[in-house]
Structures are given as C-alpha cells and as structure tokens.
Amino acid sequence: MDLMAAQSKINDLRNLLNQYGYDYYVLDKPSVPDAEYDRLLRELIELEEQFPELKSSDSPTQRIGGVILEMFEKVEHRTPMLSLGNAFNEQDLRDFDRRIRQIAGDDFSYVCELKIDGLAVSLRYEDGMFVQGATRGDGTIGEDITSNLRTIKSIPLRLKENVTLEVRGEAFMPKRSFEALNKAKEERGEELFANPRNAAAGSLRQLDSKIAASRNLDVFLYGIGNTGNTGIESHSEGLDFLDKVGFKTNQERRKCATIDEVIEYVNGWVEKRPNLPYDIDGIVIKVDSLQQQSELGTTAKSPRWAIAYKFPAEEVVTTLLDIELSVGRTGVVTPTAILVPVKVAGTTVQRASLHNEDLIREKDIKIGDQVVVKKAGDIIPEVVNVLAEQRTGKEKDFHMPTHCPECESDLVRLEGEVALRCINPKCPAQIREGLIHFVSRNAMNIDGLGEKVISQLFAEKLIEDVADIYKLTQEQLLALERMGVKSVSNLLQAIEASKANSLEKLLFGLGIRHVGAKAAKTLAQHFGSMDRLADASKDELLSINEIGDKMAESVEAFFEKEEAQELLQELKDAGVNMDYKGAKPVSAEESDSIFAGKTVVLTGKLEQLSRNEAKEKIEALGGNVAGSVSKKTDLVIAGEDAGSKLAKAQELSIEVWDEEKLLEELNK
C-alpha cells in the first residue's frame, strides 16, 4: 500500500471509529459489536505503525495512553474557574432567588444540573482539535493533564465543527468502574480507594497515562469558558451547542421558570440520587441568560448568578468501639471516637473527633453505644447523638484520664478552659506536634518535611527539637524508608533555604502560646530582631497595639526559660536568620504619605503586586489594611474581578482606586 492509499484508509478508519465511539460513549447507544470496534482499532494501529508520518493527535489510537511525564506543567486558565457558593436548605435557595430578583427583576429563568462528584477540568480546542486539558487548581492556575484526558473516550479529540473554544466539565469515575478498580486492588493486596471521586482524581494525576487509560473514566461538560462569537445568548443554548459539536453533557438538566420549580427538581433528586450510575453531591442552579449573568457579576471567589445546593449530610448508625486520646503541640488532650467502619457520604469513616470531655458528657456518650454519625459539610465526621434506647447494659462510661497518655505527667484544666492539658514541656507528643508546626507552610515552610517524615525522624531519635532539623545529614536521611537520593537532596536544600526566612516565620514556628502568625509579624516588625524581642519587658510588649496581657506574659515567660535560650543559640549557630526582613511600618504621625492613618481594603486581582506585597507597602507608609469594607474604611483598592467589597464601597461612597493609581502613589 502506498502513502496516498494508506492516508485514505486511515482517514476512513478514524472517521468510523470516532463515530462508533461517539455512539457508545456519548450517546450510550452502541452501533457495532465491541469485537468489530476492536478489529478496526487494531487495523488502524498497524497502519499508523507502518506509516508513522501519518500519525495524528486526534486519532482514536491516542486514547490508549503511554505518555510518561516527570511532572505536570502549570497552566493558566484564560477565564478563571470560579468556585460556587453553597446552599444547604430551601431557605438558602429562596434567599439566592431574592438576591437575583433584586438585580435582574422578575423576567429570568434558571437551569438546574446535577452536580457530578468528580474533578473539574478545562479543555481547550483550536480549530476543532483538542490541544490541552487542565485541572481546576486554584481557579487561576491548574496542571496540564492533557495526556491523561486524551484517554477518556467521551472527550472528543476532534469536534464536529472547526471551532476554537475552552470548555469546562467534570471528569468522574462511574460506579461500575470504581467497583472493578477496587476489586482488582483488593486482589493485589493494595490499599482501596475511599470513593469514586478520589479514584478519579488519583487517576488523572498519574504521570503514566496508561494507568489513567485503564481506569475507564468518563466526563460531562457543563459550560463554555468564553462564548466569544458563537452567538450563544444563554447557558441552555451553550449546553445545546456542546451537544451539537460532539461533547457529552448531562441530559438530566432542566430549565425552571421559578424557584419553586427549582426546589421541586432538587427534592426529586434527593430521592433518585442512589439510582444513578455515577455519584452526585448536589444540584447546580444557574441563571440562564448570559446577559443577566454579566449584570449579576461575580465576587472574588464565585459568581453571583449560580449556586450549588449540597445534599443533606448523610447520617448512618454504627458502633462506638473505643475512645482514643491524642496530645497536640500545646498539650491539649483530645478524645477521638473509634468506630466500626461505616460508609458516610461516599467515604469509609472509622474515626470522629469528640472535641472534649464536656461534649462527651453533654451527649451522654458511652463506649459500646450505637451512635449516629454524619459528615459536617460532607467533610468532617462527627458523632451527632447516641441511640440510648438501644443500650444493652454492657456499655461503659468514659472518663478522661488524670495523667497524660504519652508521658504520664499530671493533666490540668486551666482557668476558663474546657480542655485538659499536659504541661510537661518534654512530653514526646507535644514535641512531635511542635516539630510538625515548625516546618508547616505558615511557619518555616520546609517543603518535603511533612507529618510522616517528621514522625519518622522523631521515632528514630534523629530530631528531638527544632534545632536538630538543621543538623540532619544526607547519610541519616538516606537510611530512612522511601527516601531516595533526589528527595534527600531536595529536602536538604529546602532546610538550607529556610534559614533565610524573615524573623516572623521563625517566631510563629517556635509555637509560643497565644502568638499566631499575625502577632508574630507585629512583634517582628516592632523589635526587628530576636535579641531585642528576648530582652523586652512585659510593659514594652503591652505598649504595642494588638498585644494583650496573656500574650505579653506568654512571650516574656518563653524567653525567660533556659531551654528557650539554649534552643535559640543552637538555631543561631546553625545560621538561621534572627532578623526581620520585611518593610518596617511607620506610625501615622511619622509618615507624610497619603496612606498615613487611613484604613485601606484590597479587593480583586492585582496584576503587578501580590496582595501581601501591596499590604506590606501600604502598612510601611503608615496605613492600616483591613479585610472588610465598613463605614470606617477610607480607601478601597480594586483590582480585576472586584466583587462585593467594591459594591459596598460604592454604596457607602468610599473612595476607590485602581492598581495604576495605587502604584502611582506608592512610587511617590
């Protein structure tokens, strides 16, 4: 066969396979037997291997997988993927409807869609060809997972029209695929996935696309990032357009004229939800008209024209087997319920926090009780109540211990607190939790030193306090399980880099009681160095705004301890920075800046400065940056997509600047 004949045959095979795939995976109406599809696919694979120059990225053979990546590249979404506000009951939906009517009037309609429980993805097409797919990420920046998304057979590699567009959807794992996957994992003795959502997310973040291909994922498309010149005027028209060009959309959607119709639709799916072949966790309600969506606008995080109704938390009954105790870094002893494993809202739950002894008494919880468990917001497991009428007499009362479960020191209840505390500074649990806090993101931010690694290092007695982190060697780390040369090298580099952190990071990481991240920065800015702070008296500390009695006493007591002084000296010897590196704020009296003494609020996305950079510069000139707009606000800086804060500023006639004006004043 010559090249021209091969091209013709390959085109015919691709067209046939694309049509058969569309019939099967999008329309759910198979038009040929599986054996015939497989035969044609094998023929196409052989031809493409024989004529590699005729291979194409939109060929059905590209769904097999095989690309292995070292890491995922970052992708900036051309239109941000905003999250949705939540509604949990009928009143929330009616409040949403009232807000819509205040702006849009009475002439509008809604579109209701099932909220698929999967992973949000963005797909980009150029001239009808699939060129890139990405995760939602933080809404602005996602990860490029194109090679994995190509393996999902309901995602068209070429559209029926040569359009250029970006579409949004939800990739998910059907219940049938999930059950088959977990059965195979169980047979191999591997850990099972907790639910289809986790399985889908894990599959799409595999660096080997063959693994994603084997997982039989699916997708529903639910929107267009930018309708551009398509002439589409409503969300429902957009969904019809997606159907027309070859995408798979969920056909259970309904257009509703009133909020009563919306509520009827929602209630119907609360009942029918278990019968679907895939998981849903709610209903999405959107204003249909794109013009009205534009008028309603968005906040910084979510559109005002849409809301997600979350199904009521699923409640189940299980047995409380025991109550375990854990000790946090501040010495607080927390009881945790150990349960007979039970499925709640799609995941297996076997632990639930009981918070403190008073809650256990209030709910009359006994070991051995039948208890009702739910997930607060479908996330955090909690014991709702006990079924006292089902008690057999074998249940046991629970009593909080008098001694620490880790170090056997006396437990105390401090005045005004409900929690019991271990106040032994050498308690192993507190030390371990303190180490985990020290390396956390808001403290020293040492990438690669997570909770598991810290626990491992502590168990091996390689670290006993935070200074020991800076004494770790390559030899010690390589001796640990699951630590290779590259990961050890990266970890040691991260530890070294953390030495350069500004003082407030170290101060927060030390875990001084009552000193949070904000107070740590206030102290660092005021004193400038660890030595000056260590020498400060209680009166000096109290002279600072935001520092109260308890915090001043705690800071003074910390620096008086001999162990603290020795620890700081060790950190100094290791080369850890002890000075504040940020801009030092000046008082309104000291500054002749336009910001001096003014309360400023930042809203929306700034292009040339980050929020933190803008905040630091304004505060350095004597201004105070607040988080919300009120009558006391003097100035609002509004970036792109400024939402409710801008609206409130306009309502209160507060002066508003754009970023250009802000930079102009800062440069003065």
- What confidence tens digit (pLDDT) does each residue in 219-247 have? 999 999 876 677 899 999 999 999 999 99
> Domain ends where: 261, 278, 310?
310
CATH number at residue 55: 1.10.287.610
> Which residues does 627 contact at the CB level (< 8 Å), separation at least 6?
601
Does the pLDDT value for residue 465 go beyond 70? yes
Query: Residue 365 — left, alpha, or beta (φ > 0 → left; ψ -120 to 50 → alpha)?
Result: beta
Q: What distance in Å separates the CA atoms of residue 479 and residue 460, rounded to the nearest whole number?
A: 10
pLDDT band at residue 516 under the 50/70/90 scheme: confident
Among 17-26, 193-202, 586-595, the range scoring the smallest mean pLDDT is 586-595
394 catalytic? Reply is: no
The predicted structure's pLDDT at residue 592 = 74
Tell whether 119 and 256 lie within a shared domain. Answer: yes
Q: How far is CA 558 from the centre of its chain?
A: 35
Cα–Cα distance measured from residue 527 to residue 555, given in angstroms and rounded to the nearest whole number: 13
Specify whether 297 is located in the same domain as 149. Answer: yes
C-beta separation of 137 from 108 below 8 A: no
Q: Categorize the per-residue pLDDT at 590 as very low, low, confident or very high, splitting at 50, 70 and 90.
A: low
Q: Tell me what pLDDT residue 456 has.
A: 92
Give me the residue label for tokens 């559109």: 303
Looking at the structure, tell me whether residues 95 and 236 fall in a common domain: yes
- Quick one: 55 and 98 in the same domain? no
Position 475 pLDDT exceeds 60? yes
Q: What's the structural domain count of the chain?
A: 6
At residue 223, the pLDDT reads 94
Does residue 359 sit in the same domain as residue 284? Answer: no
196 & 287 share domain:
yes
pLDDT digits (tens, 9 = 90+) for 353-380: 888 888 899 899 999 999 988 875 445 7
Specify whether 374 is located in the same domain as 491: no
Provide the pLDDT for residue 298.
Answer: 85
Neighbours of 654 (CB within 10 A): 20
pLDDT at 67 over 80: no
Contact 374/314 with Cβ under 8 angstroms? yes
Last residue of a domain, one of 390, 413, 447: 390
Q: What is the mean pLDDT of residues 54-72?
A: 75
219 and 283 share a domain? yes
Taking residues 453-478, report their average pLDDT.
93
* CATH number, domain containing residue 555: 1.10.150.20
Residue 425: CB partners within 8 Å, gap ≥ 6? 563
Residues 92-139 pLDDT 10s: 999 999 999 999 999 999 999 999 999 999 999 999 999 999 998 878
Residue 29 has pLDDT above 80, yes or no: no
Query: What would the mean pLDDT of 432-445 be, rounded to a whole number?
Result: 91
- State yes or no: pLDDT of 464 exceeds 70: yes
Q: Mean pLDDT over residues 43-68, rounded?
A: 81
Contact 126, 158 (CB under 8 A): no
Q: How far apart are CA 369 and CA 354, in angstroms?
A: 14
More confident residue, 469 or 416: 469
Query: Which pLDDT does position 138 carry in this prediction?
Result: 76
Answer whether residue 623 is part of any domain.
yes
Lowest mean pLDDT segment, chosen from 63-72, 168-177, 319-328, 419-428: 63-72
Note whether 137 and 276 are same-domain residues: yes
Note whether 298 and 324 are same-domain residues.
no
Give pLDDT, residue 593. 83
Is 511 within 8 Å of 425 (Cβ atoms)? no
d(CA 581, CA 507): 13
Max avg pLDDT among 246-250, 485-489, 544-548 = 246-250
Segment 197-205 shows an average pLDDT of 88
Tell me: do 553 and 615 sit in the same domain.
no
Whether 156 and 294 map to the same domain: the answer is yes
CB burial class (10 A; 0-12, 13-18, 19+) of residue 498?
buried
- pLDDT confidence tier of residue 586, bands split at 50, 70 and 90: low
Task: Show the domain range for 640.
Answer: 599-667
**Active-site annotation holder among 115, 248, 310, 366:** 115
Is 326 part of any domain?
Answer: yes
Q: What is the CATH number of the domain that holds 362?
A: 2.40.50.140
pLDDT at 248: 96
